[in-house]
Copies of this chain bind each other. A is one copy, B any other.
Amino acid sequence: MRNCVVAQSGGPTSVINASVMGLLSKNNEVGYFDHVYGGLHGIEGILKEDFINLSELSQEDIDKVKHTPSAALGSCRYKLKNYEDSKEEYEKLFEIFKKHEIKAFFYAGGNDSQDTVRKLSAYARERGHEVQFIGIPKTVDNDLQVIDHAPGFGSAARYIAVSVLESYLDSLVYSNNGVFITETMGRDAGWLAASGAVATHEGKRCADIVLLPEVPFDEEKFLKKVEEIYKEKNHVYIVASEGVRLKDGSFLAATKAHAHDSFGHAQLGGAGNALKNIIKDSGITSRVKVLELSTLQRSAFHLASSVDVEEAFTLGERALVLAKEGETGVVSILKRVSDVPYEVEYTKTDASNIANHVKYMPLTMVTEDGMNITEEALSYFRPLVGDLPEYKVLHRQHK
């Protein structure tokens, strides 16, 4: 028997299931493995031999799971240690592979999962185990190196862009509207916050200000800009990454939104609430609203980007092909060939190129004042986000 196992790890996304179903569908087509097992709750479940047989899924169920957000196999937050610190675990894992005649392990996840692929493939090579290890990338944060963009990001970006557009329209119905702040995920990299800049209304960008972790937050410059825009139109729309930082690298959220409630709980407000405090303190306006998009960013499949879903599916298919070609210690990735017409090509990279690296937004994408992204940079985001609804209002607040 030649079986394989696939598992999911880390935070959910809208399309991580599409990747697993892509892999399964390709195997159903080419029949390389006898059974494709799903390991429940990532490597934690594999260590407990908690498998299901995905090869028994009907086509109808495959289609349903492909279009389901979260992590259909369950996930874990487990980071595999080095062999030296965790010998028993490595040995147990390979015993389980042997027992179930598992010849390949596919891991869908971010940095940490690709580090697992790197470690296990190196270990297997050294010991002469024939098990192959292939990574399938995912992360809404889009902070994986080498790959043009990570599956999961496009759908999160689409959710953010649509939510920015709709909350923007909501935020300017009065004659005096104040400041509206939308906080996105992205602790290290600003890709998600930047995708808010894709939202436009009647040709004008909704977000006046976009704050990224890559640009140290300068309170004085920020308040000057907020005041200018507020004076001009009684309304300021800000998109801020949760990871906005001060010059010394500390999170804005930690320094300015830290609060204690009446029971003595420390409450760590987000970057949005920190900015709200700063703006209120400045006296510019007391009318400041904060919207935290929270976990819906990564799981709102109803707004999934179709490009993202199909790419995630294909990366899963391609992972199966890489195994068939005898690869190990690699990750199935894509590279962008062109923005318009949008085109990608599928390839592979060593897991070590992705593991433990972070891809920040290049400062060439950021406007000179550090508080928005350039028009040219939007060509990177647009094909991933897809078309946005076209709305029309009649009052003059937007002009």
Contacts and interface: CB of A to CB of B under 8 A. Distances in A.
Contact of A393 (B65, B289, B392): B65
Contact of A41 (B75, B175, B262): B175
B77 A174 contact: yes
Nearest to A163: B296
A196 to B, nearest CB: 14
Contacts of A260: 259-262
Interface string A48-73: 00001010000001001101111111
Interface residues of A, number: 70
B294 A291 contact: yes
A173 B44 CA distance: 13
Interface in A124-182: 162-163, 166-167, 169-175
A396 B173 CA distance: 46
A76 B176 CA distance: 9
Contact of A175 (B72, B74, B389): B74
A295 B169 CA distance: 10
Given A169-B299, A174-B74, A390 B69 contact: no
B67 A391 contact: yes
Interface of A: 8, 12, 38, 40-41, 44-45, 52, 54, 61, 64-65, 67-77, 162-163, 166-167, 169-175, 256-263, 265, 267, 269, 273, 277, 280-281, 289, 291-292, 294-296, 298-303, 389-397
